[in-house]
A and B are shown apart, each in its own frame.
Chain A
Amino acid sequence: MENYLAALSLLILFSAFVLMANKRIKSYIATIRVQSIFIAIAVGIEGAKSLKTTGHFDILLVCVLIIAFKVIYIPRLLHRTYGKVEYRVAKDFFLNIPILILICCLLVVFSYFTLSTVEGINTGESNVQMVNSISIVLIGMFFMISRKKAIGQIVGFLVIENGLFVTALFSTKGMPLIIDIGIFIDLITAVMIMGIISFKINEKFDSIDTNKLKNLRG
């Protein structure tokens, strides 16, 4: 059982790398869907375990919420936003892909070295899971700064939230239910707001290339 969770956390990390290697916006959305499916499986396993031992089904409820929102609703929302804005086939990132992937590699190594000095989480299973989870957050942040299009930045934000959720799941077996629900509401509102603002950016600037937003300098 423990091996399943370590394997799943590794697969989630791998999907973050695949996201980094993608070039087109439709593939970003598909990859993040796959990543959310992996997370839902991990939460489902945890929920089944906790159901058997303590009888609480709040973790299973969170699993259902993840499937409803992150796997179904948010990718559809992103597809709709992407459909409404202008599509221009332009290079979306600054460096080329192999360098981006190598930098992500370095981020994983960096998070490993940071966490190895923290006692309490630098041994065995929990170490590997924490390293994977925090690397996902760092990769999400790096994804956000390496993409120029607005929807790329929204996807990066979603990866950061995924990484945070995985960290909470693996380190403390999840947050209290009320906080989880609050986080979901926040996340969906944030993605909706970002979608609406991308749409407005497209209206005013005729593209969703955020490099064009440079009126406010100094």
Chain B
Amino acid sequence: MGYILWIVPIIGILLLTAVKDKKLFPIISVAKASILLIAAIFITRTVMLQGKVSYKNLQGLLYIDSVSIIALDIVVVIGLLSAIYSINYLNLELLHGKIDIKRLKLYYILMDTFIYTMVLALTVNNMGIMWIAIEATTLASAFLVGFYNDKEAIEGTWKYVIICSVGIGVAFLGIILLQLSSIGVLKEANFLQWTNLYENATALKPSILKLAFIFLLVGFGTKAGLAPMHTWLPDAHSQAPSPISALLSGVLLNSAMYGIIRMVSIVNKGLGESIFTGRLLISLGVLSIGTSAIFIITQKDYKRLLAYSSIEHMGIIAIAIGLFTPASIFAALFHMINHSATKAMLFFSSGNILQKYETKDIGKIKNLLKILPVSGFVFFAGIFAIAGTPPFSVFASEFNVILSIFNNHNFILGGVVIGFISIIFVGIAMTLFKMFYGTSPEHLIPGDINIPGEIVMVCMLIFILITGIYMPLQVKGLLLSAEKIIIGG
């Protein structure tokens, strides 16, 4: 069953390259995404019952445990939703003449490759192959970011490729040092397997492990959008087409964070204490939240604002992981799910706004609720959700994070985090509320576009409302078992 995750996307991509009719592209894409979703549901059930999924072939390369399945489910679900949303989004772009059929085909092929590399990164046991997959995500999404081929898109693409490639190179140095620390402890065939590294973590050489962690944190932190390595994020996420922005924000940042989580569990077990990694992660997290607070207040482009909010939430997750208490890791995993859902929903609705108003400037958008009733309402609710208002789910997970900070007696840290989150709330409210007042430009016809996308958005809105109030017992069990794997029981 696990191999379906690896084989089906390849078949989908090959089919896409062969087919010429433009009506078939979205059908193949959505079909592939649905098959992946069904496979993921089956694997989730297996993981919930048995604890992990791993096969003997290829030296146990395919390995899915509770941590992977959480991230994998997010990837697969948001992948399917993006595919559904892109159908009408791209048809409208084709109609307006912004792209042609060749670019449409390129879009679908690259999007499927992008999702495939992320699935690969989350399901392998070998840290080296995980690194290769994460580098491949940068390369697969490079031309997706520069899809519209104008000056700003190309600038965003160049920054994205260069900064992420250098970051990933630094991460590779960390992996080399990780391998160096395990010489003499592990057999050569098992060098970079996560399971083996985790079992023998206490026997690895501590000082090399510390150095490896620093490099890996900087490297994967670049990909995850932690400040001060975040500079590519606002450009890339704002210039990409909206479904791709949703994928980048909601899914890719999670995959990079997943890499950091795997590394943190090895290093903390090896060093026996979590202060070293905790200090680094908490400082990067606070820096991220602070940076995004400063930049959100002065934003003029709503997609860039959403990108900075992604940086903020990744900072919160980093702080939670750095604390390394059971409650904080639970909150971090929960926050990953909530942030992905909410951010994807926001990017979808902002995509509709962009297509209707044809501008990214906040000042030029007025009277949103009249022109786009459903999308506007979803956007309105989403702003509150992402800023952390109850009863939405982001509030629940942020509350859990702050609670765990205070339970750990880090009062100053808690105060700083609350202060920055409040500044961000004020910033988002000040800048984005302008979009709902005023009179709209003359030529715009009120009415919704992209009906399938709207259905997707409303479903996600209901989802984040429910998740904020109620968590099914199985999901809670899954999160708890994931947290046990990370901390080590």
Residues of A participating in the B interface, judged by any CB pair closer than 8 Å: 114, 117-121, 134, 137, 141, 144, 150, 153, 157, 160-161, 164, 167-168, 171-172, 175-176, 178-179, 182-183, 186, 189-190, 193-194, 197-198, 200-201, 204-205, 210, 213-216, 218
Contacts and interface: CB of A to CB of B under 8 A. Distances in A.
A189 B129 contact: no
Nearest to B300: A218
| Secondary structure call for the B interface | helix
Contacts of B149: 200
Contacts of A183: 132, 172
Contacts of B165: 157, 190, 194
Contacts of B146: 197, 200
A141 to B, nearest CB: 7
B459 to A, nearest CB: 33
Given A120-B207, A193-B143, A215 B152 contact: yes
B68 to A, nearest CB: 20
B205 A201 contact: no
Given A164-B176, A197-B161, A172 B128 contact: no
B299 to A, nearest CB: 7
Contact of A218 (B158, B161, B179, B299): B299
B169 A160 contact: yes
B169 A172 contact: no
Interface residues of B, number: 50
Contacts, number: 121
B169 A186 contact: no
Nearest to B156: A216
A157 B146 CA distance: 20
A144 B166 contact: yes
Nearest to B164: A190
B158 A204 contact: no
Contacts of B304: 218
A164 B131 CA distance: 14
Contacts of B183: 172
A186 B166 contact: no
B406 to A, nearest CB: 34
Contact of B166 (A117, A141, A216): A141
16 contacts: A119-B205, A120-B181, A137-B173, A160-B166, A164-B173, A168-B179, A171-B176, A171-B179, A172-B183, A176-B128, A179-B128, A182-B129, A190-B165, A193-B143, A200-B149, A216-B156
Contacts of A216: 152, 155-156, 159, 234-235, 238-239
A193 B164 CA distance: 13
Contact of A137 (B139, B150, B169, B235): B169
A163 B172 CA distance: 11
Contact of A186 (B136, B156, B161): B136
Interface in B98-154: 126, 128-129, 132, 135-136, 138-139, 142-143, 146, 149-152, 154
A179 B132 contact: yes
B352 interface: no
Contact of B173 (A134, A150, A182, A205): A134
B35 interface: no
A175 B128 contact: yes
A133 to B, nearest CB: 9
A178 B132 CA distance: 10
Contact of A168 (B136, B150, B176): B176
A197 B142 contact: yes
Contacts of B177: 171
Contact of B151 (A120, A134, A153, A204): A204
Contacts of A178: 128-129
A182 B169 CA distance: 13
A205 B157 CA distance: 14
A190 B164 CA distance: 11
A201 B158 contact: yes
Given A186-B136, A193-B139, A213 B158 contact: yes
Contacts of B299: 218
A137 B345 CA distance: 40
A164 B176 CA distance: 8
Contacts of B235: 216
Contacts of A168: 176, 179
Contacts of A190: 135, 138-139, 161, 165
A96 B129 CA distance: 41
Nearest to A202: B154
A4 to B, nearest CB: 22
B403 interface: no
B139 A189 contact: yes
A161 to B, nearest CB: 6
Contacts of A144: 162, 166
A120 B234 contact: no
B439 interface: no
Select the residue from B165, B177, B205, B239 with max chain A CB neighbours within 10 A: B165
